[in-house]
C-alpha cells in the first residue's frame, strides 16, 4: 500500500513532465529543447541541453557555500583515514583533469579505471567527466584477462590504477595485473599509478608509458610541465553525450559495455538517491558499501550522493578485517544514518552472530537499503530488527547496470513494506509482469518488463549495436525485457524470483555461466563444460561446473578440480570461481545437442528433475547424480 503523497499520481498522469521537473533540479549550461524523443528502442532525453556532471557534483555545491561540507569520510582497510570536503574534491578533480589533458586525453576518449575503493577513484571518474572523456571502471577483483578484454572493448587510451589495494589484510597487486593485461595486447598511451600500498608491493614502471599519480600532480613528471592548475574549465556536454561505459555479463561469453549518457542518468540517480533514501543532505551520513566497480557504486556511491551534496563514507576493505565487527565500528565512528548494501552481506552478518553489531552504538541509523539480489524475509527482518533497531524503514531496491538507477523500491514513510518484496515501481517508471506472450499478469508469476523509457536507461551496448535491440527489446514486443522472473501478489506487490536466463547472481554479482564455460573449455584437459548457478544460503547462488575431460588427459582428480577452479579465478576473477567442480563422462543434452542446464541445476541442488523426455540419453543423468552426491560430501 502506498500512502497518497501525490507524487505517484502526478508522475502517472504525466511521466515525461515529471522527469522534466526532476531534470530541473540540475544545473544546465543550456536548457533542453525536447524532454524525450522516443523511437523504440532509442531514447533521447533532454536533447539540446548541455551540462557537465562534475559541475553538478562539485562546483555548484562549492558555489552555494557548501565547500566545507565533507564529501567523503574515507577509511582504508588498515585503518588510515582521510576527510575530503567538496572544496577539496573540486580541486583534486580539476588538477587530475588537467593531468589527463596533459596526457593527451580529449573529449570522447575512453579511460579505464582499475582502482581500489580509495578517493582517487571518484576523483578520476569526475576528472574524466569534467573534460568529456568516458570512464570505463573495471572492478579491481577482476583478473588481468578480464581487464584486458574490457580495455580492448572500450578502446581505452589511458589506464589509471594503483600499485595495489588492501583486501583482507593483504596487498592485492593491481599494477602488476595491468602490466599483464597490456602485455602484447591493447596499445595504451599511458598508465597512471596511485601509490596506495607502497613498500608492500614491488612495482615495475615502464618508461614512457607509466607515471606516478603523485609525481604528475606535483609536476615532477617530465610528461607535464610543472604542477597542473587547480582550475579546469568544464566541457559543455550534450545531454546525450556518453558519460561512462560499464561492462556487465549477459548470456554470451562476451561482456557488454553498457552505455550511459549524461543528462538523463544524472537526473534519475539524483532523484532516486533523494527519494528512496529520504535524503537529508545537511545532516545525513550515508554509506553505500558496494564497490564502485559495479553500477551500484557508480550511481549510489559517486554520482547520486555527490549530485545531492551528501556526505558519504568510503571504505576500502573487507567486512571481517581486523574483526567481524568492522562495518559496525565504521557505522558508529562516523554516525552513519543511511546504509545501503547487499543481502549476501546481511546474511553473512546474520551467520556471524548478533554480538558483533550489539557491541556498537548503531542508533544513528535511520534508513536501510538492500540491493543486488532477492532478499529473503528472514534476512530482511534481521536487518530491520537487529541492525535497524526496529525503527528504520528497509528499502529493497530493484534495478540493473542497464537501468542506471533504481526503478522498483518502496519510499520510506510512504510505502507499506512486506519483508522480501521490492513493493512497487517508483514514480515515473512503468513496470509490468507479463507472461510468455507479453500479456500482463494480474496475480501470479511472469517476467518483469518495463513499459516506458526512463531517463537513466542504457543507450546501447558499446561496439555491439545489433545486440541492444535483440537482447532487451525483441523478446517481448514493445517492452524492455529485464531477464528477471517476478511474482505479483493479490495486493499488487512485486516479488523478484531471480534470473530466467543463464546468468547467475553470486553474492550480488551478475556472472555469465557461458563466460565461465568458455574459460573452462580453454583449459587443455577440458573437453566440454556446463556451468549452472545453484541456490546457496549465503551468496544467493553459487557456481557449479560440470566438466568432461579430453581423452588422454588422465583421470579426474581432486587436484585437477582445484586447478580448474584456479584457472577460472585466474582468467576472470575470484567472483567467478566455481564452488564445486563435478567431473562426468557425458553431459545431458537434448536430441538436438543443447546442454540441459535446467537438469544439471536440479541435480546439483538435489531436486527432482522435472520433464526429461527430451533428453537424448536419460541414463547420463543418473551417473551425474551419483557424482554430484559424492562431490557434496567432500569438505
Ligand atoms: C540483476 C542486475 C542493481 C545493482 C546491482 C546489480 C538482480 C538487483 C535486486 C533486488 C532481486 C535484484 C536482478 C537484476 N537484482 N537488485 N532488489 N531484488 N534481484 O546490478 O549486476 O546489473 O544485476 O541483479 O536479477 O537483473 P547488475
For 170-227, write each residue's pLDDT tens digit: 999 999 999 999 998 889 999 999 999 999 999 999 999 999 999 999 999 887 778 9
Query: pLDDT tens across 260-303, in order?
Result: 999 999 999 999 999 999 999 999 999 999 999 999 999 999 99
- How many helices (H) and strands (E) in the chain? 21, 29
Please give the CATH topology (third level) of the domain spanning 503-633: GMP Synthetase; Chain A, domain 3 (3.30.300)
Question: Which of 384-398, 466-480, 602-616 is predicted least confidently?
Answer: 602-616
Residues having CB within 6 Å of any atom of ligand 1: 248, 294-296, 371-374, 396-401, 422, 482-484, 496, 499, 505, 510
Query: pLDDT tens across 223-265, in order?
Result: 777 899 999 999 999 999 999 999 999 888 899 999 999 999 9
DSSP state of 198: G
Ligand 1 atom at shortest distance from the alpha carbon of 290? 5
3-class state of residue 326 by DSSP: helix
- Chain mean pLDDT for the chain: 95
Instruction: Report residue 227: phi and psi, to 5°.
Output: -65, 140
Question: Does the pLDDT of residue 614 top 80, yes or no?
Answer: no
Query: pLDDT tens across 147-167, in order?
Result: 999 999 999 999 999 999 999
C-beta separation of 165 from 140 below 8 A: yes
* Paired residues of 172 in beta bridges: 165
- Which pLDDT does position 58 carry in this prediction? 99
Percentage of residues in the chain with pLDDT exceeding 90? 88
Cis? peptide before 161, omega within 30° of 0 = no
- Which pLDDT does position 409 carry in this prediction? 98
Give the residue among 484, 485, 508 at the shortest CA–CA distance from 372.
Answer: 508
The cell numbers describing 574, all together, are 575470484
3-class state of residue 612 by DSSP: coil
Across the range 579-583, mean pLDDT stands at: 94
Q: Taken in order 318, 322, 325, 327, is the CA torsion positive or negative?
A: negative
DSSP 471-513: HHTSSSTTSEEEEEEEEE-TT--EEEEEESSSEEEETTEEEEH
Q: What is the CA radius of gyration of the chain?
A: 24
C-beta separation of 44 from 24 below 8 A: no
- Which pLDDT does position 4 carry in this prediction? 61
Q: How confident is the model at residue 634 (pLDDT cuts 50, 70, 90)?
A: low
- Which pLDDT does position 617 carry in this prediction? 79
The cell numbers describing 86, all together, are 567538496
* Paired residues of 142 in beta bridges: 573
Ligand 1 atom at shortest distance from the alpha carbon of 401? 22
Give the residue among 111, 115, 108 at the shortest CA–CA distance from 99.
Answer: 111
Q: What's the CA gap between 582 and 569, in Å, rounded?
A: 17
C-beta separation of 125 from 135 below 8 A: yes
Nearest CA to ligand 1 atom 18: 374
Q: How confident is the model at residue 592 (pLDDT cuts 50, 70, 90)?
A: confident
First vs last C-alpha separation in the chain: 46
Nearest CA to ligand 1 atom 12: 373
Taking CA atoms, 541 is separated from 109, 513, 574, in Å, by 37, 12, 15
DSSP state of 374: P
Q: What's the CA gap between 374 and 75, in Å, rounded?
A: 29
Query: pLDDT tens across 347-371, in order?
Result: 999 999 999 999 999 999 999 999 9
Across the range 446-472, mean pLDDT stands at: 97
The cell numbers describing 26, all together, are 540540475
Query: pLDDT tens across 91-144, in order?
Result: 999 999 999 999 999 999 999 999 999 999 999 999 999 999 999 999 999 999
Its pTM stands at 0.96
Nearest CA to ligand 1 atom 19: 373
- Which pLDDT does position 3 carry in this prediction? 64
Question: Does the pLDDT of residue 635 top 60, yes or no?
Answer: no
CATH dotted code for 431-499: 2.30.38.10
Give residue limits of the domains in the chain: 431-499, 503-633
Instruction: Give, for ligand 1, the residue of 345, 395, 399, 483 to mutate: max count of ligand atoms closer than 8 Å to Cβ.
Output: 399
Residue 198 Cα to ligand 1 middle (Å): 36
3-class state of residue 277 by DSSP: coil
Percentage of residues in the chain with pLDDT exceeding 70? 99
Taking CA atoms, 223 is separated from 163, 175, 182, 196, in Å, by 20, 20, 21, 22
Residue 345 Cα to ligand 1 middle (Å): 15
Nearest CA to ligand 1 atom 1: 400
Instruction: Give, for ligand 1, the residue of 344, 456, 487, 505 to mutate: max count of ligand atoms closer than 8 Å to Cβ.
Output: 505
Amino acid at each position: 500500500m502506498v500512502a497518497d503523497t501525490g507524487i505517484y499520481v502526478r508522475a502517472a498522469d504525466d511521466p515525461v513532465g515529471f522527469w522534466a521537473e526532476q531534470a530541473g533540479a540540475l544545473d544546465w549550461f543550456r536548457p533542453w529543447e525536447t524532454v524525450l524523443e522516443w523511437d523504440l528502442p532509442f531514447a533521447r532525453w533532454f536533447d539540446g541541453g548541455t551540462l557537465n556532471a562534475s559541475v553538478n557534483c562539485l562546483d555548484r555545491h562549492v558555489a552555494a557555500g557548501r565547500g566545507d561540507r565533507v564529501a567523503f569520510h574515507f577509511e582504508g582497510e588498515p585503518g588510515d583515514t582521510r576527510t575530503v570536503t567538496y572544496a577539496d574534491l573540486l580541486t583534486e578533480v580539476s588538477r587530475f583533469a588537467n593531468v589527463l589533458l596533459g596526457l593527451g586525453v580529449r573529449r570522447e576518449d575512453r579511460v579505464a579505471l582499475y582502482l581500489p575503493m580509495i578517493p582517487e577513484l571518484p576523483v578520476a571518474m569526475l576528472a574524466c567527466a569534467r573534460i568529456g572523456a568516458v570512464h570505463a571502471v573495471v572492478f579491481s577483483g577482476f583478473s588481468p584477462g578480464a581487464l584486458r578484454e574490457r580495455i580492448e572493448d572500450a578502446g581505452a587510451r589511458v589506464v589509471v590504477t594503483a600499485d595495489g589495494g588492501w583486501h583482507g589484510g593483504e596487498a592485492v597487486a593491481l599494477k602488476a595485473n595491468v602490466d599483464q593485461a597490456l602485455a602484447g595486447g591493447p596499445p595504451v598511451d599511458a598508465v597512471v599509478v596511485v601509490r596506495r600500498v607502497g613498500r608492500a608491493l614491488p612495482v615495475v614502471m615502464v618508461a614512457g608509458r607509466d607515471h606516478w599519480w603523485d609525481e604528475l600532480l606535483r609536476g615532477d613528471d617530465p610528461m607535464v610541465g610543472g604542477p597542473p592548475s587547480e582550475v579546469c574549465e568544464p566541457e559543455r556536454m550534450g545531454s546525450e553525450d556518453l558519460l561512462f561505459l560499464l561492462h556487465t555479463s549477459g548470456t554470451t561469453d562476451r561482456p557488454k559495455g553498457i552505455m550511459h549518457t549524461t543528462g538523463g542518468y544524472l537526473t534519475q540517480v539524483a532523484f532516486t538517491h533523494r527519494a528512496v533514501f529520504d535524503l537529508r543532505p545537511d545532516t545525513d551520513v550515508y554509506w553505500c558499501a558496494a564497490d564502485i566497480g559495479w553500477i551500484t557504486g557508480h550511481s549510489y556511491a559517486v554520482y547520486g550522493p555527490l549530485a545531492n551534496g551528501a556526505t558519504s563514507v568510503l571504505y576500502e576493505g573487507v567486512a571481517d578485517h581486523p574483526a567481524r565487527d568492522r562495518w559496525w565500528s565504521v557505522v558508529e565512528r562516523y554516525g552513519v544514518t543511511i546504509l545501503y548494501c547487499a543481502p549476501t552481506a546481511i546474511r553473512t552478518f546474520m551467520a556471524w552472530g548478533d554480538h558483533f553489531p550489539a557491541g556498537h552504538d548503531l542508533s544513528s541509523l535511520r534508513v536501510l537499503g538492500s540491493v543486488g539480489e532477492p532478499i529473503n524475509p528472514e534476512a530482511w527482518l534481521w536487518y530491520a530488527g537487529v541492525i535497524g533497531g526496529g525503527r528504520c524503514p528497509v528499502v529493497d531496491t530493484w534495478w540493473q547496470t542497464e537501468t542506471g538507477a533504481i526503478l522498483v523500491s518502496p519510499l520510506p514513510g510512504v510505502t507499506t513494506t512486506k519483508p522480501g518484496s521490492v513493493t512497487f515501481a517508483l514514480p515515473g517508471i512503468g513496470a509490468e509482469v507479463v507472461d510468455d506472450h507479453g500479456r500482463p499478469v494480474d496475480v501470479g508469476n511472469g517476467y518483469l518488463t518495463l513499459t516506458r523509457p526512463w531517463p537513466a536507461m542504457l543507450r546501447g551496448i558499446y561496439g555491439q549495436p545489433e545486440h541492444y535491440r535483440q537482447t532487451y527489446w525483441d523478446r517481448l514486443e514493445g517492452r524492455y525485457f529485464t531477464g528477471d522472473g517476478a511474482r505479483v501478489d493479490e495486493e499488487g506487490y512485486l516479488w523478484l524470483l531471480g534470473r530466467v536466463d543463464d546468468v547467475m547472481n553470486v553474492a550480488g554479482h551478475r556472472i555469465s555461466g557461458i563466460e565461465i564455460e568458455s574459460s573452462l573449455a580453454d583449459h587443455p584437459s577440458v573437453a566440454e563444460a556446463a556451468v549452472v548457478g545453484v541456490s546457496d544460503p549465503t551468496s544467493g547462488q553459487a557456481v557449479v561446473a560440470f566438466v568432461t575431460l579430453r581423452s588422454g588427459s588422465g583421470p579426474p582428480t581432486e587436484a585437477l578440480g582445484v586447478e580448474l577452479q584456479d584457472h577460472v579465478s585466474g582468467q576472470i576473477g575470484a567472483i567467478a570461481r566455481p564452488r564445486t567442480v563435478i567431473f562426468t563422462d557425458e553431459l545431458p543434452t537434448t536430441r538436438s545437442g543443447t546442454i540441459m542446464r535446467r537438469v544439471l541445476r536440479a541435480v546439483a541442488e538435489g531436486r527432482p528433475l522435472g520433464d526429461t523426455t527430451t533428453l537424448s540419453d536419460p541414463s547420463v543423468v543418473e551417473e551425474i547424480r551419483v557424482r554430484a552426491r559424492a562431490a557434496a560430501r567432500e569438505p
